[in-house]
């Protein structure tokens, strides 16, 4: 039975993504279909252990001189995504239509520009002072890349960052939907941007969560995660006659585990609550979900928790898969990057595979898609993103 | 929704001299609000956030375990992050697992949900000098969409001086318990945050330019002043963000 929704759906009128899977959505689609890992040894900086990463190795664009204070790898990744396909033109069309004050920007990030801060700290260590061209609140603090994009595009609407570790940009979609539902905005640009840095690589290594080889999400012999980077941009607008042929964001479910700072609830209670909440807000039933894009980091505990969450919520679970063996875990960008993966699945009609999967964990009491399935066209998709602090979000998307 | 109801608020300012200068009651850190197991490792940011949040919930007579929470700060766990960045440049630098997971912006939000056994959504938000304004807007949107009540905590610990010379001081936290619409016993009603040209009070301009989260001072001052409807500036810059308040009971 379909209930009436508790929040109005919003329309995804444009999206783009830069990741290890390629510089735009066309390249990402090709990578998803090929299902050959894009993880490679790290070239950006040295680390004292072995792993593979999802690094963007193509050149990044320069930041314009007037916004030079914002220059950092995170801002450059965001600018690169903005320049792909006709995305920038789509945003400019929306600004022209509604006015800059009616267009908001919500960023989800965990790293912000800390890679460039690390370089500044190296100079501090060497010279005793921070470099003159280091601007703390324009590079390092969480809103920096949001402010950069806002200035770059000449927006005048609300602008802020959500930084809840690996659920950041999924929760940014939730905040954006609310800005539209309350008529605070007519359009909102959601950006999920995270960049490779020593802090996250060495931090996750200290937690003994890093895999030396390409990770194997939901595999019985998974041995940890690979870090990735990326910038995903998603333009949301209110429904109207012109955008009736575009996919919709129906709802984002959110919850807290209230269990542990860096380990998920063992039975996935919070994860299941987030998925159930997304369906409840949208007035949809578990039986209607065609595919779940799993968070599936390939850490032992996280995948177990998520497998139990899916099994507990869905009497007859739909096919599930995770793409972090392909792209790495893009941390604060993962919610938006994998929403783009899910949008491609909705629009182009396929189920993404689980790169790296050999033998699914026996706790997975649901079909785990190993190789991409081009014979299935999902219409309703859940995409999960769970982070430190037991911070859970699940994004519910529907085809036009 | 025409307005939100403020059900309780509290402020925490560890510096005694600064605390005495504030136009509303504020308190020092109350370490009793941090569970004993978390106390040793907790940052100044988390201690202030917990102190203010606990007192605001007490004033509002609301159980923290039932409230969705928004934690807003410009620089988050900046002292922990600074320590890690300092270790990262040393050849033999040591990164501790707890140090790493306590460096995320949602550290206070995460530990609050654990300490209160609160499974409601918790968010961590940042918006530079607009952090207070955007946090209030996020609170407005959550209440307008979902109804009910929530906890909003705005805080920033002191920043290492070399990161942003002349800024990041003094440390401050405030917490507000807010409800959708008109609720009996409200301290004040707060409208939807809007773009506008309200002028930030000159007496606090230097303070807020030094520590952006102090943009909350005029709003908190208005709770006690209880003068009739008025427009409060939420940002030190013009044009910026503002909010209409009134409806004291």
Residue extents of the structural domains in chain A: 10-398
- Tell me how far apart the alpha carbons of residues B245 and B224 are, in angstroms, rounded to a whole number: 12
Set of chain A residues whose Cβ sits within 8 Å of the Cβ of B97: 203, 206-208, 262
- Tell me how far apart the alpha carbons of residues A383 and A292 are, in angstroms, rounded to a whole number: 6
**B179 CA: distance to closest CA in chain A (Å):** 16
- Tell me how far apart the alpha carbons of residues B175 and B155 are, in angstroms, rounded to a whole number: 8
Q: Do A142 and B106 touch (CB under 8 A)?
A: no
Determine the average pLDDT of the residues in A21-41: 98
Helices H / strands E in chain B, number of each: 9, 9
**B54 CA: distance to closest CA in chain A (Å):** 17
| Whether the predicted pLDDT of B249 surpasses 60 | no
Q: CATH number of the domain at B4-185, please?
A: 3.40.47.10
Over the stretch A286-310, which tens digit does the pLDDT of each residue have?
Answer: 999 999 999 999 999 999 999 999 9
What ranges do the domains of chain B cover? 4-185
A386: three-class secondary structure by DSSP: strand
Active-site positions of A read: 166, 295, 329
| Whether the predicted pLDDT of B240 surpasses 60 | yes
pLDDT at position B218 is 97
How sure is the predictor about A355, in pLDDT bands with cuts at 50, 70 and 90? very high
Among chain A residues, CA nearest to B2: A182
| Whether the predicted pLDDT of B214 surpasses 80 | yes
Nearest Cβ partner for B95 among A202, A254, A273: A202
Q: CATH number of the domain at A10-398, please?
A: 3.40.47.10
- Tell me how far apart the alpha carbons of residues A302 and A262 are, in angstroms, rounded to a whole number: 10
Tell me the Ramachandran region of residue A373: left when phi exceeds 0, alpha when psi lies from -120 to 50, beta otherwise. beta
Q: How many CB atoms within 10 Å of residue A30?
A: 11
Q: Do B141 and A175 touch (CB under 8 A)?
A: yes
Q: Do A199 and B100 touch (CB under 8 A)?
A: yes
| Whether the predicted pLDDT of A330 surpasses 80 | yes
| Whether the predicted pLDDT of B93 surpasses 90 | no
Beta-carbon pairs below 8 A across chains A and B = 196
How sure is the predictor about A71, in pLDDT bands with cuts at 50, 70 and 90? very high
Interface check for B96 against chain A (CB to CB < 8 A): the answer is: yes
Q: Do B104 and A204 touch (CB under 8 A)?
A: no
Within 13 Å, how many C-alpha atoms sit on residue A143's CB side? 25
Q: Do A391 and B109 touch (CB under 8 A)?
A: yes
| Whether the predicted pLDDT of A3 surpasses 90 | no
Dihedral angle, C-alpha A135, A140, A146, A149, nearest 10 °: 50
How sure is the predictor about B248, in pLDDT bands with cuts at 50, 70 and 90? low
Place of tokens 């033999």: B92
Q: Which of B41, B45, B100 to mutate to test the interface with A (most CBs of A within 10 A)?
A: B100
Among candidates A182, A8, A204, which has minimal Cα distance to A110? A204
B248: three-class secondary structure by DSSP: coil
- Tell me how far apart the alpha carbons of residues A31 and A29 are, in angstroms, rounded to a whole number: 5
Over the stretch B25-56, which tens digit does the pLDDT of each residue have?
Answer: 999 999 999 999 888 889 999 999 999 999 99
| Whether the predicted pLDDT of A2 surpasses 80 | no
Q: Which of B42, B67, B123 to mutate to test the interface with A (most CBs of A within 10 A)?
A: B123
Has this prediction a pTM greater than 0.95? yes
Residues 132-161 of B with CB under 8 A from A: 134, 137-138, 140-142, 144-146, 159
pLDDT at position B41 is 84
Q: Do A389 and B95 touch (CB under 8 A)?
A: no
Within 13 Å, how many C-alpha atoms sit on residue A308's CB side? 12
Among chain B residues, CA nearest to A119: B89
A311: three-class secondary structure by DSSP: helix
- Tell me how far apart the alpha carbons of residues B212 and B210 are, in angstroms, rounded to a whole number: 6
| Whether the predicted pLDDT of A283 surpasses 70 | yes
Among candidates A328, A359, A355, A337, which has minimal Cα distance to A226? A328
């Amino acid at each position: 039975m379909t209930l009436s929704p508790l929040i109005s759906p919003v329309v995804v009128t444009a999206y783009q993504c830069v990741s290890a899977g390629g510089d735009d959505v066309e390249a990402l689609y090709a990578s998803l279909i090929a299902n050959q890992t894009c993880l490679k040894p790290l070239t950006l900086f040295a680390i004292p252990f072995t792993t593979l990463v999802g690094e963007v190795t193509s050149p990044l664009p320069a930041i314009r001189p007037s916004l030079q204070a914002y220059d950092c790898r995170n801002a450059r990744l965001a600018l690169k995504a903005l320049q792909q396909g006709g995305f920038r033109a789509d945003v400019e069309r929306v600004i022209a239509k509604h006015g800059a004050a009616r267009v908001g920007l919500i960023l989800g990030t965990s790293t912000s520009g800390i890679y460039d801060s690390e370089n500044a700290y190296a100079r501090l260590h060497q010279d005793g002072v921070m470099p003159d061209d280091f601007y703390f609140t324009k590079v390092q603090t969480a809103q920096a890349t949001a402010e950069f994009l806002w200035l770059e595009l000449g927006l005048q609407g609300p602008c802020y960052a959500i930084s809840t570790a690996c659920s950041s940009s999924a929760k940014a979609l939730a905040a954006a939907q609310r800005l539209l539902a309350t008529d605070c905005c007519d359009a909102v640009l959601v950006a999920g941007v995270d960049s490779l840095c020593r802090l996250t690589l060495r931090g996750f290594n200290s937690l003994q969560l890093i895999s030396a080889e390409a990770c194997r999400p939901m595999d019985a012999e998974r041995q940890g995660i690979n870090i990735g980077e990326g910038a995903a941009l998603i333009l949301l607008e209110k429904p109207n006659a012109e955008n009736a042929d575009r996919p919709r964001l129906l709802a984002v479910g959110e919850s807290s585990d209230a269990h542990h700072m860096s380990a998920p609830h063992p039975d996935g209670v919070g994860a299941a609550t987030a998925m159930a909440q997304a369906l409840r807000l949208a007035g949809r039933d578990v039986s209607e979900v065609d595919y779940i894009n799993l968070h599936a980091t390939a850490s032992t505990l996280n995948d177990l928790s998520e497998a139990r969450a899916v099994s507990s919520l869905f009497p007859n679970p739909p096919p599930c898969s995770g793409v972090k063996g392909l792209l790495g875990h893009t941390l604060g960008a993962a919610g938006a990057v994998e929403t783009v993966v899910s949008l491609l699945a909705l629009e182009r009609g396929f189920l993404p595979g689980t790169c790296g999967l050999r033998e699914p964990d026996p706790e997975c009491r649901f079909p785990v898609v190993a190789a991409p399935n081009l014979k299935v066209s999902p219409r309703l998709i859940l995409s999960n993103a769970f982070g430190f602090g037991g911070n859970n979000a699940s994004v519910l998307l529907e085809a036009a | 929704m025409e307005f939100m109801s403020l059900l309780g608020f509290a402020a925490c300012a560890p510096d005694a001299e600064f605390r005495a200068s504030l136009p509303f009651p504020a308190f020092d850190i109350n370490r009793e609000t941090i569970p004993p197991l978390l106390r040793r490792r907790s940052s100044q940011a988390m201690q202030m956030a917990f102190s203010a949040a606990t007192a605001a919930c007490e004033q509002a007579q609301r159980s923290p375990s039932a409230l969705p929470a928004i934690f807003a700060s410009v620089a988050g766990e900046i002292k922990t992050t600074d320590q890690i960045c300092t270790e990262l440049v040393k050849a033999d630098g040591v990164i501790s697992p707890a140090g790493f997971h306590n460096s995320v912006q949602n550290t206070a939000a995460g530990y609050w949900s654990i300490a209160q056994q609160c499974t409601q959504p918790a968010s961590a938000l940042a918006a530079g000098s607009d952090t207070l304004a955007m946090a209030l807007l996020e609170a407005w949107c959550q209440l307008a969409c979902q109804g009910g009540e929530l906890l909003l905590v705005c805080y920033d610990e002191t920043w290492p001086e070399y990161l942003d010379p002349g800024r990041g001081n003094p440390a401050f936290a405030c917490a507000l318990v807010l409800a959708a619409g008109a609720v009996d016993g409200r301290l004040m009603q707060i409208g939807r945050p809007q773009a506008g040209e309200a002028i930030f009070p000159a007496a606090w301009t230097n303070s807020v330019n030094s520590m952006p989260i102090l943009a909350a001072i005029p709003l908190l001052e208005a709770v006690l002043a209880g003068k009739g409807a008025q427009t409060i500036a939420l940002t030190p810059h013009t044009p910026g963000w503002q909010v209409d308040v009134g409806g004291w009971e």
